[in-house]
């Protein structure tokens, strides 16, 4: 299915969020995730099933003021 | 100074953005003597761009204050706060709900709403707000235990655009920690804020964009301490006219007198 990851389209085979992160090569312990604007906590990732067209945000620590 | 029950030694909070290099940032953090640094969250790449930065920050030993910079809606800010809490393992959040693209001034209506949602969810909210007293009251009612009024627009370095407003805040919110966030450009701006009775100053660009960030970080730390000491020493009242400081009594009469 095709999902939007950090504003870019990606074709993924996995369906649950945890597996999608693994497939895309993210270090799952060092990122925070939101699907369609809603936060998904780390322990819940395996339970969340993604659908075609879903928007996934994968965020990491960054410099800030 | 106590912020949400935590004793904080330094009254200078430092942002981590816009430094020429991670090494310069680390040097500035050290010479500022700060105990609290602000950070943010941005989109990650599969290569892991954020990991190195985060490792470097943990080495500073500072408390981390994540922000919701760039959020323009309540929902964005709330979701970002949740992501920050998980990522940085802290319930502290510098809450920004931006209302205007040019001035980056807070959307105080969204700010109060987001502060209420996050406080109810256990967050310790550091709200970036204006000097408006009513908004401040609403934020405290929403669960905030401190307020962070702006000095001037973020990154502008204009100093305190409304010192009278900050003075009124100090009088109105006795006992509530007030941290001037944004607009500080020079050490004298930080001193002025502290002389007004602000409890601390949060700044970033003034240090990061200085010719020598580490030296400016130290200058800011000294300025904050000087202003705080001056506030505690209870400054004299301003007067419109001169008052001689040297005694007039016993002054000699030395005018040449005309002889008849």
B67 chain-A contacts, CB cut-off 8 A: 64-65
The string of pLDDT tens digits covering residues B90-145 is 999 999 999 998 889 999 999 999 999 999 999 999 999 999 999 999 999 999 99
A40 min Cα distance to partner chain B (Å): 8
pLDDT < 70 regions, chain B = 49-51, 259-260
What is the reported pLDDT for B51? 65
| Structure tokens given for B28 | 């500035």
Number of Cβ within 10 Å of residue A6's Cβ equals: 16
Alpha helices in B94-177 (DSSP H): 108-120, 133-141, 163-172
User: Quick check: B48 contacting A, CB < 8 Å?
Assistant: yes
| pTM for the predicted model, two decimal places | 0.91
Best CA proximity match to B15, nearest among B64, B88, B82, B72: B64
Residues of B with a known catalytic role? 94
Bridge partners, residue B98, by sequence = B106
Q: What percent of chain B has pLDDT over 90?
A: 85
| Structure tokens given for A41 | 């906590």
Environment class of A47 (CB within 10 Å of its CB; exposed 0-12, middle 13-18, buried 19+): exposed
ipTM of the complex: 0.94
């Amino acid at each position: 299915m095709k999902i939007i990851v950090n504003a870019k389209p990606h074709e993924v085979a996995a369906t649950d969020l945890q597996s999608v992160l693994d497939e895309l090569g993210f270090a799952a312990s060092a990122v925070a995730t939101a699907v369609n604007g809603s936060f998904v906590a780390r322990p819940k990732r395996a339970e969340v099933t993604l659908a075609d067209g879903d928007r996934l945000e994968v965020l990491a620590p960054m410099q800030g003021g | 100074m106590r912020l949400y029950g935590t004793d904080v030694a330094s009254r200078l909070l430092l942002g981590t953005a816009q430094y020429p290099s991670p090494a310069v940032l680390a040097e500035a953090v050290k010479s500022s003597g700060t105990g609290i640094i602000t950070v943010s969250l941005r989109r990650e790449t599969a290569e892991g761009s954020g990991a190195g930065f985060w490792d470097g920050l943990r080495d500073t030993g500072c408390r981390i204050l994540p922000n919701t910079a760039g959020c323009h809606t309540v929902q964005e800010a709330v979701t970002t706060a949740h992501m920050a809490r998980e990522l940085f393992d802290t319930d502290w959040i510098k809450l920004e709900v931006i209302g205007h693209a040019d001035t980056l001034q807070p959307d105080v209506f969204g700010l109060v709403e987001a502060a209420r949602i996050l406080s109810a969810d256990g967050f310790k909210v550091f709200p970036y707000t204006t000097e408006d007293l009513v908004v401040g009251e609403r934020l405290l009612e929403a669960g905030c235990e401190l307020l962070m009024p702006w000095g001037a627009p973020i990154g502008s370095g204009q100093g305190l655009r409304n010192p009278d407003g900050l003075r009124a805040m100090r009088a109105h919110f006795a006992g509530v920690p007030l941290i001037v966030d944004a607009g500080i450009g020079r050490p004298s701006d930080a001193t002025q804020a502290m002389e007004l009775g602000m409890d601390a100053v949060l700044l970033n660009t003034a240090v990061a964009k200085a010719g020598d960030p580490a030296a400016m970080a130290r200058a800011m730390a000294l300025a904050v301490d000087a202003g705080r000491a001056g506030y505690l020493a209870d400054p004299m009242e301003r007067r419109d006219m001169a008052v001689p400081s040297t005694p007039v009594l016993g002054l000699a009469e030395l005018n040449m007198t005309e002889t008849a």
